[in-house]
Structure 1
Amino acid sequence: MSKLNLSKLVAATLLLSSSLAYSAELTGAGSSFIFPVLSKWAEAYKAKTGNSLNYQSIGSGGGIKQIKAKTVDFGASDAPLKFEELQAAGMVQFPAIIGGVVPIVNIDGIKPGQLKLSGDLLSDIFQGIVTNWDDKRVALLNPGIKIPAGNITVVTRSDGSGTTAIFTDYLSKASGPSGWKEAVGSGASVKWPAASTVSGKGNEGVAANVARIKNSIGYVEFAYAKKNSLSYTQMKNMAGQFVLPEEASFAAASAGTDWSKVPGMGTFITNAPGAKAWPITGATFVIIYKQPENKASAAEVLKFFDFAFTNGKKAASELDYVPMPDATVDYIRNSVWSQVQTK
């Protein structure tokens, strides 16, 4: 073989080796809230680029721990980090998707979307003040619906959870004076007061427990309710209207949010005004370093989410998530991603 052909062969081999090495998986961890749509995005991205995503649906608290430990390329949390914490750690975050947290129940004869609840009543159920489904306050909100008696089992998250942060932020706002905020508080982990409380890991664990336990109530991202054919409730919103969880009501809740005006883009959008707004709406935030150790992987993370923003809207809508508005995506590209050094 001539030296020229040998050189070409070596160059081709090196190029192939480089390509194969770079097609290694991206890694992420955290929110189970985003996992259903993230899986769809990852599937489509791999089909187009050959690059895959290994995402651990371990809860927002776990995702924050892993990105801080630099064991993954990005973390995902439904409880946004405070701007000061981002600054101190040298990180940025951006909302990737909007969705709804929904109460789910396992009550004989109650169909999806049939049972009506309010913030006050939901708070008192999760505090263990209302303990049976035949309570007069439940009946008052649901005239004409036969709700069988049964001791209520409350199902919550056992792990540090952004879904819990959204849910408890809502209860703190909607339960009135001397309600949830004073008695329990909000956050990714709280001390659940109801004596009947059973916990599960991730949205998956909560959904599984509610499906298994008669007369139980829990809370999950809406895609998990639909996927597991669980009965979800209507909720009375800030405008006093009962609304169903769906893409339109999640979009109505988030319509007034100007993410660009919030330092670090981190805000809750629970108990939003508007007659059509679902009151327990939230977003998942992706967290990455401004100066990542692996710049190539960081660049690929941005490419992945750019692909998701551009090509993943249909997949998001099919799962009743709300894609980020175009104006917000433009802000993310120009003002957030520009801070990440990928070269």
Structure 2
Amino acid sequence: MTMFRMTLIAGAVLAAGAVQAAEVTTINGAGATFPYPIYAKWAEAYNKETGVKLNYQSIGSGGGVKQIIAKTVDFGASDDALSPEKLAEHGMTQFPAVMGAVVPVVNLAGIEANQLKMDQEVLADIYLGKITKWNDPKIAALNPGVALPDKLISVVRRSDGSGTTAVFTNYLAKISPEWKEKVGEGKAVNWPVGMGGKGNEGVASYVKQIDGAIGYVESAYAKQNKLATVQMKNKAGNYVSVSSKSTAAAAASADWKGATDFYLWLTDAPGADAWPIANQTNILVYKEPNDCARTEAVLKFFDWSWKHGAKMAEELEYVPLPKELVEQVEASWKANIKCEGVAAIIK
């Protein structure tokens, strides 16, 4: 699947005194494909109130980080949070935009959404290439009564530098010592098996086309493409289905106040109902931007989206930031983002 450019339409609510921001007619961003569906929804609604365009390139988290470092966009978007050290190196700050879930999806004749169960060992062994057929005894043991075909498993993974991959491999590294030792984690890894698709869109497309395929995508892509999601065994030992509720249960365990620069992971979270492969997606901006008006426009877009777009997020099975976290994020803006020594205008 070739790279494509996605243009989102958005508008800005201008605060009193934000004279420079009134001149901004287009905000440019690039990065994660994970949050694209909700950014598109937010932007469409935002535009109906005002009229600034958000030109967002859904190119993957790795590309988004590269573009914000190169200062070719107003913000970068990455599911893989940058460490405080990396942020300091480039004079940037980051904040969570929304929380979501990565979910394994399958294409098997007769298998419906959430009918198939997987535990930590089975998922890791499939991506390690140790389980190669759908009727493997380990899969069959978890799914009594389910007609599993004697068919090879076609493993699909990302081909690009991907925050979704960072979340997925972070989870696999937590639950499988063998994965941690042999493969590790990150936006890009040396995959033992599988074919690569570009973006969540590419993985979803391959899984939809290939009988016997398994892949991993952000849950909104599974929903939009009508892909069969699987139930996963979580840290508490319970099988759960992906949903905004189970993602929220994972997010509830996060210690945001104790996380420097909002640097933390939600994978393999405790909790009876927690979805095990959840995480936040992050926005990257400069602490001392070259163009303050453009950065202020970015902040206002997210401020508006959090206050007016919670229902839209939930409809796509994302989890909006709780009010307390929004307040914490906006306090960090005032403390960290300066325009000629003055805190950026967000109200």
- Please, what TM-score do these two structures have when normalized by structure 1? 0.92
Aligned to 1:262: 259
Structure whose CA Rg is larger: 1
Asked whether the 8 Å contact 2:106–2:229 carries over to 1, the reply is: yes
Deviation of 1:111 (Å):
0.2
SS of residue matched to 2:254? coil
Deviation of 1:21 (Å):
8.4
Aligned to 1:117: 118
Aligned to 1:71: 72
Aligned to 1:213: 210
Aligned to 1:26: 27
Aligned to 1:278: 275
SS of residue matched to 2:66? helix
Asked whether the 8 Å contact 1:93–1:336 carries over to 2, the reply is: no
Q: Cα gap change, 1:200/1:335 in structure 2, threshold over 3 Å: closer, same or farther?
A: same
Aligned to 1:182: 181
One-letter amino acid of the structure 2 residue matched with residue 181 of structure 1: K
One-letter amino acid of the structure 2 residue matched with residue 171 of structure 1: L
2:330 pairs, out of 316, 327, 333, with: 333
Aligned to 1:92: 93
Matched, 1:324 2:321: yes
Matched, 1:108 2:109: yes
Deviation of 1:260 (Å):
2.3
Query: CA deviation digits over 1:77-108, x for unaligned, max 9?
Result: 00000001111211000011000000000111
Asked whether the 8 Å contact 1:23–1:52 carries over to 2, the reply is: no
Distance 2:257 2:299 in 1: 18
Moved over 4 A (4+): 18-21
Asked whether the 8 Å contact 2:80–2:281 carries over to 1, the reply is: yes
Distance 1:88 1:45 in 2: 34
Unaligned runs of 5+ in 1: 1-17
Asked whether the 8 Å contact 2:21–2:293 carries over to 1, the reply is: no
Q: Give the superposed CA RMSD.
A: 1.4
User: Which aligned pairs between 1:176-325 and structure 2 lie closer than 5 A?
Assistant: 177=177, 179-194=178-193, 197-325=194-322
Distance 2:189 2:183 in 1: 7
Deviation of 1:20 (Å):
12
SS of residue matched to 1:156? strand
Aligned to 2:7: none
Deviation of 1:263 (Å):
1.0
Aligned to 1:12: none
SS of residue matched to 2:130? coil
Distance 1:88 1:149 in 2: 52
Aligned to 1:171: 172
Asked whether the 8 Å contact 1:27–1:72 carries over to 2, the reply is: yes
Asked whether the 8 Å contact 1:98–1:281 carries over to 2, the reply is: yes
Distance 2:72 2:32 in 1: 16
Deviation of 1:335 (Å):
2.0
Query: CA deviation digits over 1:103-162, x for unaligned, max 9?
Result: 000111100111000111101001110000010000000011111111011100010000
Asked whether the 8 Å contact 1:95–1:286 carries over to 2, the reply is: yes
Deviation of 1:336 (Å):
3.2
- Please, what TM-score do these two structures have when normalized by structure 2? 0.91
Aligned to 2:130: 129
One-letter amino acid of the structure 1 residue matched with residue 198 of structure 2: K
The sequence identity of aligned pairs, in percent, is 51
One-letter amino acid of the structure 1 residue matched with residue 134 of structure 2: W
Deviation of 1:46 (Å):
1.5
Asked whether the 8 Å contact 1:243–1:276 carries over to 2, the reply is: yes
SS of residue matched to 1:181? helix
Q: Cα gap change, 1:19/1:185 in structure 2, threshold over 3 Å: closer, same or farther?
A: closer
Distance 2:27 2:90 in 1: 21
Distance 1:147 1:97 in 2: 36
Distance 1:331 1:263 in 2: 12
Distance 1:19 1:39 in 2: 25
Q: Cα gap change, 1:45/1:337 in structure 2, threshold over 3 Å: closer, same or farther?
A: farther
One-letter amino acid of the structure 2 residue matched with residue 220 of structure 1: V
SS of residue matched to 1:88? helix
Aligned to 1:13: none
Asked whether the 8 Å contact 1:247–1:322 carries over to 2, the reply is: yes
Deviation of 1:19 (Å):
9.6
Unaligned runs of 5+ in 2: 1-18, 343-347
Distance 1:263 1:120 in 2: 32
Report the structure, 1 or 2, having the larger helix content. 1
Asked whether the 8 Å contact 2:208–2:227 carries over to 1, the reply is: yes
SS of residue matched to 1:217? strand
